[in-house]
A and B are shown apart, each in its own frame.
Chain A
Amino acid sequence: MLRTRLTQMRAHAGRLVAAAVAIMIATTLVAAFMVAAGVLEKTAFNAVSVSHANADVILEEPYQGFSTEMVEQIRRQPEAAGADGRFVVHTVIRAGGRSDSPTVAPLPETPELRIELDEGRYPEARGEILVSHEIAERLDLDLGSSVELLDTSADVGLAGRSGGPGGQPADGLTVTGTFIHPGAAFDHNVPGMFGRAAEVELWSGHTTVRYERVIALASPGTSAEELRTALEPLADQVGTVVYTADEYARIMTARFTADSYILAAVLAALVGVALVVAGLVIANTFAVIVAQRTRELALLRCVGATRRQVRNGVLVEAGGLGVAASLAGIAAGIGLAQITIMVLRAVLDFPWFPERPEVSVLALLIPLVVGVTVTILAALAPARAATRVSPLAALRPPEPGGIGRGTSVRRLAAAAGVVVVGALLMVAGIGATARGQTELGLAIGVLGGALSFSGVVIGSVVLVTVIVAALSRPLRVAGVPGRMAALNALRHPRRTAATAVALLIGVTLVAMMSVGAASARATFAGELDARYPVDIAVGPVIDDTGRHRLPDEVLNVTEGVAGVGDLMPLRSSRALVRNAALEGDAALQPIEAEVHGVDVGRARDVMHAGIDDLEPGAAMVSRQITAMTGIDEGDLIQLQMGSQTIELRAVFAPVERHTILVTAADLAALDPDASIGMLWVKLADGSSAETVARTLRDQLSLLTTDMGIPVTTAGATRAEVSRVLDTMLMVVVGLLAVSVVIALIGIGNTLSLSVIERRRESATMRTLGLTRRQLRVMLAFEGVIVAAVAVFPGITLGLIYGWAGTLTAFGGVWDVALGVPWRWLAGIAGLAILAGLAASVLPGRRAARDDPITAVSAG
C-alpha cells in the first residue's frame, strides 16, 4: 500500500507542488526564527564579554559606589592580579566644527582589563584619549587628531554633586587609538571614550571619586570562582554581589533577550499565522485531490482496500509531503540565516558577531516536527472524506464537478453565535481597559478577537455566497467569462471559502496593524504635543558666576539656521524651592531648580501644546519636584532667589526634572536682573528636528565661547516614536506578507486544480466559441472573486480589530484617537485583488493550452 501511495504521489507530484511550497515557506520561517534566536543570544553574550575585556569577576553598582580604598583593597587580595574601577563623566567635545557628547571613563591600569584596541595604542601622556569607532567616524577623527573638550559633568545619578560647572577642561585632547563599541543595546555601561585615570578624575569635578563598578583579574592559577569567593565579604560590606564574568554576561544576555521577549513573542505569533495559512492551503489541496480521485479511490475500495487503508494512504502521502517540504524549508531557513549573517558581518564589522549560525538539534527538529504535524493535521479532514467514498462510485459515470450546495442553517447559526460572543468579549475588554485594568482588558479582548474571527471563518461559506452574489451583477457586464467565473466560484463554496480564508487572515492582520498604527500615531500625536511641547531648546547656559547667561551670538546663530521656524528667548534664574506650608524644622531641605520666565502670549507660537494653565501666580513643576518637597497640585510653592522670595501655586506639567516654568512677570518679580538663559525653537514645517539640532550644535560649537551650549530636541523623540511605529509596522507587515504569499499560492493552487477538474468543460466552451483569452479572463475573474471574498471582510474586520485593539491597549492611559489609514487600506485592497489576478496567470495559461478537441474526445 505504501508503495502504491508513493507511486501515486510521484504521478501527481505536480498537484502537490503548491502545497509543498506553502509548507516549505512556513518551515523556512520557523527554522530561520530558531536560528536567529540563537545568533541573537550568541551576539549579546559576545558583546557583553567584549566590553569587559579579560575580567574574571565583576562587582556591580552598590548604592553609594565603591571608594578608591575599596578598589585598593580588592587589588591587594592574593587571588586578584589586578582590579580597576569604572565611572563615567559626561563630556561635550568638538573637532573640525562638529561636536558630540560622549561619556568618558578611566582607562584601567591593569593592562589585561583594558578594552581591546581596534587601531592605535593606549593613552600614555597627558590629554591622550581612546575613542569609539562611531565617535571617530562622526567627528572624522584619525589617530593623532586633536579634539577640544568643551564641558564635563559627572554622572548625576552617582555623584550627587552640588552643581556648578565640571572640572577644568584640558586645552586639547589627542586621539591615540580607537575601539569598537558593542552598542548600547547590549551594554549601556561602555563609555564612548577612555582617558587616563588621573585626568578623568579631574574632569569629574569631584575630589573623591566613587566607582560604579569594579572589574578584577584573577591571579595566575586562581579560578574566577575562587576570586569571587575571596571578594564576597568585601561585596557584602557595600551591599552588592560579585559575578564571574561568564555569569555576568549570561545575566546581561538574559536581560537583553528578555527585552526582546515581546518581540520574540510577536515574531512567534506571526510564524504561527504563516503555519495556519499553510495548513489551510494544504487542507484545501488534499480536499481537492481526494475529490478528483473519487473514482480511483472507489476502484481501490472495489478491489478490496479497507477504509483504513484508504485513509492511511492519504495520510502517508501528506506525511511524505510534509517531510520533504520541511527538510527543504529547514535548509532554506539555515541558508537564509547564514546569508543574513554574512551580510551583517560585511556591513557592520562586529567582531562579536558569530561567523556562522549555531544550528542546534532543536533548531533542526522543531521545524521538521512542526512542518510534518501541520501537514498531517491539515490532511486529516480530507483523509476522512476519502474514506467516505463508496465502492459504487467506481461504477457510476463520472460526475461533473459538484454544483454549489446551500449552506446549512446550523452552520450559519453557529457562526453568528461565535461572532456575537467574540464581539461582546471585545467590548468587555475595552470596558475593562477603560476602568484601568488594561491587562485584563487585553486578555479578554484578544480572546474575543480570536473567537469572533473563528466565527467569521466558520461562516465564510456564507460570506462567499453573499459576496459572489453581490459581485455577479457587475461581473455580468464582462459577458460570459464574468458570468461563468461567478458560477464557478460558487460551485464548491467550501473550497472557495477555504481558499479565501487563507488570504482573509493575512488581509485582516495587515489591515488591523495599519489601522492600529494609524490610531496609535493619532493618539501619540496629542500625547507627544503635551509631553514635548517644544521642538528644540538651546541652553540653559550658566556662566562662571553661576548666573544664567546665553551669549548674545547664540540668538543670531540660531535664527540663521535653516529649518528654524520661530524662536522665543526665555529669561532664567536659579532658585531654591520650598514647600510654603512647612516652616522651621519641618521644612525639607530646599531644592535648587532652574526657573524660566515664559511670555505666555508668544508661547502659543513656539509650542505644540498651549500652556493655558500658566497664568500669573502659577508655577509649572515636574512631579519629581513635588515629590521631593511634598507639594500637591494647587499647593503653594516658595521660590527664593537671594533675598527675594515669591509664592506661587503649583501646577503639574511634563517639564524637565529640575525645571520650573513661570510667567515672565513672576520671574521679573523673583529676579529683576535675570538675563536670557535659554531659547525655545519651533521648527519650520517639514524640517527634521535631528538635522536642525545637528546643524545648530555644529554652528554653536564654532562660537568663540568656552561654554558648551546644550541643544536638546524633543522633535527627535517625536520623530523617533513615529519611526518606531513605522518600523514595527514594516516588520510585522513584512512577516505577514509571507502568509499572504502562501495564501496566494493557495489561490493559484485551487485554481489550477479546478482547471484540471474542469478540463473537458473548458474545452467544450472552447469548441462553442470561447477564445483562449476569454478562458484566461474567466480564470482571472475567479482569482479576483476569491481575493474579493478575502479583501472586503478582511478590511472591515481589520478596521474593527485595529480600533478595538487601540482602545483596549491605550484606552486606560490616554485619550485614544482612532485613525483610518485610507491609503494603506486602499493599497491593501488593490494589492490583494491584483494578487488574485496574478494567481490566475499560471492556471489560466495551463487551461488555455488545452486543445478544444479534449472535449470531443470521448470520456
Chain B
Amino acid sequence: MSVSVATEKRRAGVLAAGGHAVTASGLGKVYGTGATAVRALYEIDIAFEVGQFSAIMGPSGSGKSTLMHCLAGLDTATVGRVWLGDTELTHLDDTELTLLRRNRVGFIFQSFNLIPTLTARQNIELPMDLAGRRPDPDRLAELTTTLGVADRLDHRPAEMSGGQQQRVAIARALMADPDVVFADEPTGNLDSRTGAQVLDLLRRSVREFGQTVVMVTHDPVAASYADRVAMLSDGRLAGDLTDPTPDRIRAALDRLWECGQ
C-alpha cells in the first residue's frame, strides 16, 4: 500500500522525536461545574507508538471515550496537553482542529456513521473531497479489494449489511492515509464473526501498511487483537499490557475489579 512522500517525511520526523503518533501529558477532563461536576479523567500521561495497534480498555464509565475524544481533538481537555505527532492540539481552534482531523486523523464509529445519501465510494472519498485532495484510484481499489467491498462501491449504506458498512467505514478512515485512526467500539454493533473480520482488517492495516490505530473497547477478545492494551479505571490509568491475550486481559480486568472493591 502506497504512502505519500509528505506523510513519509512527517512520520520520519515523528519517529525521530520519539516515535509517538499521539501523546498526552497530564490530561484531565471534568464535565460540568460545581455540584454536578463529573471528573471523567485524572491527569493521564500516555503515548501511542507509530505503527502500533493499541487498545484502550476499561469498564463502562471508566473514561475510555472521553480519553479518545481528547486525543483525537474532538473535545478539549480541562487540563494537560495533547500532541498529534509533534503538533500540539491544546491551543488549536475549531477550524484548525477540523483541518487537522480532515488531513491527519481517521475515525471508525460503533454505528458506522456512513452518510446515507452517499454511495460507498462517495463515503470513502468524502474526507479527501473535504480536504480538496484528489482521491487516488489505485489506493481506493487496493483498499476496497483488501476490505472486500470493491463490488459494493455504488451501493448506498441502506443496501449493505452492518459488516459491509463497517468495512466501508474502515476504508473511509484509511483512504486519506491518516497519521492515526481512532476507533470507538468498532465491533459493538456487529455479531462476533463479523466483528472478528473487522478486527483482523484493522490489525492487517497496521501490519501491512504501517497504520497507527487506537481502539476503544470493553471487549477483552477485541482488545486481544491489539499489540498493546491500556487499562482505564475511574478515569485513571490502571495497567498496560503488551502482546495481550484474552485470558491475560480478563485476568487484568479481574484484578481491577478487586482493587475497586
CB within 8 Å of B: which residues of A? 399-401, 403, 479-480, 483-484, 487-488, 491, 760-761, 764-774, 851-853, 855-859
Q: Which residues of A contact B111 (CB under 8 A)?
A: 858-859
Q: Which one, A401, A761, A764, A856, contacts B184 given CB within 8 A?
A: A856
The interface centre, meaning the residue of A403, A480, A855 with most chain B CB atoms within 10 A of its CB, is A480
Q: Is the CB of A764 within 8 A of B129?
A: no
Q: Is the CB of B127 within 8 A of A487?
A: no
How far is B125's CA from A480's CA once the two chains are assembled, in angstroms? 11
Residue of A nearest to B97 (CB): A852
Q: Is the CB of B130 within 8 A of A480?
A: yes
Question: Assuming the A-B contacts A764-B115, A858-B188, are A772 and B95 also in contact, with contact meaning beta carbons closer than 8 angstroms in the complex?
Answer: yes
Q: Which residues of B contact A400 (CB under 8 A)?
A: 116, 157-158
Q: Is the CB of B107 within 8 A of A856?
A: yes
**Given A766-B98, A851-B74, 8 more pairs with CB closer than 8 A:** A487-B117, A761-B115, A768-B126, A768-B130, A769-B101, A771-B94, A853-B69, A856-B109
How far is B117's CA from A400's CA once the two chains are assembled, in angstroms? 9
Q: Which residues of B contact A772 (CB under 8 A)?
A: 94-95, 98
Q: Is B132 an interface residue (CB 8 A)?
A: yes
Instruction: Determine how close the nearest CB of chain A comes to the CB of B22; give it in whole angstroms.
Output: 16
Chain B 151-198 residues near chain A, CB threshold 8 A: 156-158, 172, 184-185, 188
Q: Is the CB of A769 within 8 A of B102?
A: yes
Q: Is B227 an interface residue (CB 8 A)?
A: no
How far is B116's CA from A484's CA once the two chains are assembled, in angstroms? 11
Q: Which one, A401, A403, A774, A856, contacts B130 given CB within 8 A?
A: A774
Question: Assuming the A-B contacts A400-B116, A768-B101, are A852 and B74 also in contact, with contact meaning beta carbons closer than 8 angstroms in the complex?
Answer: yes
Q: Is B87 an interface residue (CB 8 A)?
A: no
Instruction: Determine how close the nearest CB of chain B comes to the CB of A459; give it in whole angstroms.
Output: 23
Q: Is the CB of A479 within 8 A of B184?
A: no
Interface string of B205-217 (1 = CB under 8 A from A): 0000000000000
Q: Is B103 an interface residue (CB 8 A)?
A: yes
The interface centre, meaning the residue of B72, B75, B94, B113 with most chain A CB atoms within 10 A of its CB, is B113
Q: Is B52 an interface residue (CB 8 A)?
A: no
Enumerate 14 A-B pairs (CB-CB under 8 Å) in ascending A order.
A401-B116, A480-B126, A483-B129, A484-B117, A488-B117, A760-B113, A764-B109, A769-B102, A771-B94, A773-B95, A851-B75, A853-B75, A856-B107, A856-B109
Q: Is B12 an interface residue (CB 8 A)?
A: no
Q: Which residues of A contact B113 (CB under 8 A)?
A: 760-761, 764, 855
Q: Is B99 an interface residue (CB 8 A)?
A: yes
Q: Is the CB of A487 within 8 A of B102?
A: no
Residue of A nearest to B109 (CB): A856
Question: Assuming the A-B contacts A400-B158, A858-B110, are A767 and B117 also in contact, with contact meaning beta carbons closer than 8 angstroms in the complex?
Answer: no
CB within 8 Å of A: which residues of B? 65, 68-69, 72, 74-75, 94-95, 98-99, 101-103, 107, 109-111, 113, 115-118, 126-127, 129-132, 156-158, 172, 184-185, 188
Instruction: Determine how close the nearest CB of chain B comes to the CB of A775; give it in whole angstroms.
Output: 10
Q: Is the CB of A770 within 8 A of B98?
A: yes
Residue of B nearest to A852 (CB): B74
Q: Which residues of B contact A774 (CB under 8 A)?
A: 130
Q: Is the CB of A857 within 8 A of B65?
A: yes
Instruction: Determine how close the nearest CB of chain A comes to the CB of B189; give it in whole angstroms.
Output: 8
Question: Assuming the A-B contacts A400-B116, A403-B158, A856-B69, are A767 and B110 also in contact, with contact meaning beta carbons closer than 8 angstroms in the complex?
Answer: no
How far is B122's CA from A480's CA once the two chains are assembled, in angstroms? 10
How far is B156's CA from A853's CA once the two chains are assembled, in angstroms? 24
Instruction: Determine how close the nearest CB of chain B comes to the CB of A126; give it in whole angstroms.
Output: 90
Question: Assuming the A-B contacts A487-B118, A857-B65, are A768 and B95 also in contact, with contact meaning beta carbons closer than 8 angstroms in the complex?
Answer: no
Q: Which residues of B contact A768 (CB under 8 A)?
A: 101-102, 107, 126-127, 130, 172
How far is B32's CA from A8's CA once the two chains are assembled, in angstroms? 27
How far is B169's CA from A855's CA once the two chains are assembled, in angstroms? 13
Q: Which residues of A contact B94 (CB under 8 A)?
A: 771-772
Q: Is the CB of B75 within 8 A of A771?
A: no
Q: Which residues of B contact A859 (CB under 8 A)?
A: 111
Q: Which residues of A contact B184 (CB under 8 A)?
A: 856, 858
Closest 9 pairs between A and B when the two form their complex, measured CB to CB:
A769-B102, A400-B116, A487-B117, A764-B113, A769-B130, A771-B98, A768-B127, A480-B129, A858-B110
Instruction: Determine how close the nearest CB of chain B comes to the CB of A855; give it in whole angstroms.
Output: 6
Q: Which residues of A contact B130 (CB under 8 A)?
A: 479-480, 765, 768-770, 774
Q: Which residues of A contact B72 (CB under 8 A)?
A: 767
Q: Which residues of A contact B132 (CB under 8 A)?
A: 479
Residue of A nearest to B112 (CB): A764
Q: Which residues of B contact A770 (CB under 8 A)?
A: 98, 102, 130
How far is B118's CA from A491's CA once the two chains are assembled, in angstroms? 11
Q: Which residues of B contact A765 (CB under 8 A)?
A: 115, 126, 130
Q: Which one, A399, A491, A760, A769, contacts B127 given CB within 8 A?
A: A769
Q: Which residues of A contact B117 (CB under 8 A)?
A: 403, 484, 487-488, 491
Q: Is the CB of A403 within 8 A of B156?
A: yes
Q: Is the CB of A856 within 8 A of B65?
A: yes
Instruction: Determine how close the nearest CB of chain A comes to the CB of B100; give it in whole angstroms.
Output: 9
Q: Which residues of B contact A852 (CB under 8 A)?
A: 74, 101
Question: Assuming the A-B contacts A403-B156, A403-B158, A769-B103, are A855 and B109 also in contact, with contact meaning beta carbons closer than 8 angstroms in the complex?
Answer: yes
How far is B75's CA from A195's CA once the two chains are assembled, in angstroms? 89
Instruction: Determine how close the nearest CB of chain B comes to the CB of A844; give it in whole angstroms.
Output: 15
How far is B219's CA from A261's CA once the two chains are assembled, in angstroms? 79
Q: Which residues of B contact A853 (CB under 8 A)?
A: 69, 74-75
How far is B74's CA from A484's CA once the two chains are assembled, in angstroms? 22
How far is B72's CA from A853's CA once the two chains are assembled, in angstroms? 10
Q: Which residues of B contact A767 (CB under 8 A)?
A: 72, 74, 101, 107
Instruction: Determine how close the nearest CB of chain B comes to the CB of A221; give it in whole angstroms.
Output: 86
The interface centre, meaning the residue of B110, B115, B127, B184 with most chain A CB atoms within 10 A of its CB, is B115
Q: Which residues of A contact B172 (CB under 8 A)?
A: 768
